[in-house]
Structure 1
């Protein structure tokens, strides 16, 4: 076993020495880089610096800023505590997200209610229901109840998505209820 380890070590050292001894000029390196870069661009990759990548990020994360109680049917649930809004696509005053560009978006929302209450919601895209979230703390439950739902949606620029009550909403806790999304 010792002899085998020595042989492996010798082989690795020899490989390192051979690599060092093949003196590649800076021009050789640049030429190889340009060839690889050309191939990547041909495959559709774009060259971007870090600040350009940051500009293309669309993501938000919000919390309810106050308790929501006794909301009527189809009332928009406004998650007013905006913790992240990269791309400025979420409006914390209306509770609506507006797609700044075409693409596939992922959304998730969570609601927490207290024992004896419920809060049923739905996700709406341009007035059409996409998904539901049913949180029921009524049915003999003495514990807090929560529910989460998510959806992955193809959106066009200026499409709007929001969370609203399905039926009515009896009680949802602030800071424990959230809505977030991002562009894939």
Structure 2
């Protein structure tokens, strides 16, 4: 007599859903020092990994993440912003102001461990222009989990 079949147990982990988009509330002038940009207007923050009080994203799970950031200036100063991961510069956007409107953006994919941080820094002697009257949202920071690892 044949032995009865036993059910196979499959252990499936449902991936964590993580994603955010935030905009700058007002123009910034970083005349004297570098500073983390705090994007205070949060449009989406699924998983609550972006902190609108500090401007810092903290990975809730290890995985492959996609980030993008954009900046704009409309002054005599330049546009200089950097994306940092765990206090180290990963990539930069730059534009020469010179009294005209300049914008730049970049996207990047990063492998993060749980607890790693990602944020945008405005460099000294640069500015970020935001016109809230027209709600243009020139300065943005977004990220989402592509795949947990």
Question: What's the TM-score bracket when you normalise by the shorter of the two chains?
Answer: 0.7 to 0.9
- Structure (1/2) with the larger strand percentage: 2
Runs of 4+, deviation exceeding 4 Å: none
**Partners of 1:110 and 1:177 within 8 A in 2:** yes
**Partners of 2:27 and 2:127 within 8 A in 1:** no
Partner of 2:4: none
Inter-partner Cα distance in structure 1 for 2:31 and 2:55: 15
Q: Which moved more, 1:94-103 or 1:119-128?
A: 119-128
Quote how far apart the aligned CAs of 1:71 are: 4.6
Quote how far apart the aligned CAs of 1:73 are: 2.9
The 5 A counterparts of 1:1-184 are 46=12, 56-138=16-98, 143-173=100-130, 175-184=137-146
Q: RCO (CA 8 Å, sep 6+): is it higher in 1 or 2?
A: 2
| Structure 1 segments unaligned to the other structure (5+ residues) | 1-37
**Partners of 1:130 and 1:151 within 8 A in 2:** no
Aligned length: 134
- Structure (1/2) with the larger helix percentage: 1
| Structure 2 segments unaligned to the other structure (5+ residues) | 1-7, 132-136
The structure with more radius of gyration? 1
Residues 161 and 71 of structure 1: CA distance in aligned 2, closer, same or farther (over 3 Å): farther
> Secondary structure, in 3 states, of the residue corresponding to 2:67?
strand
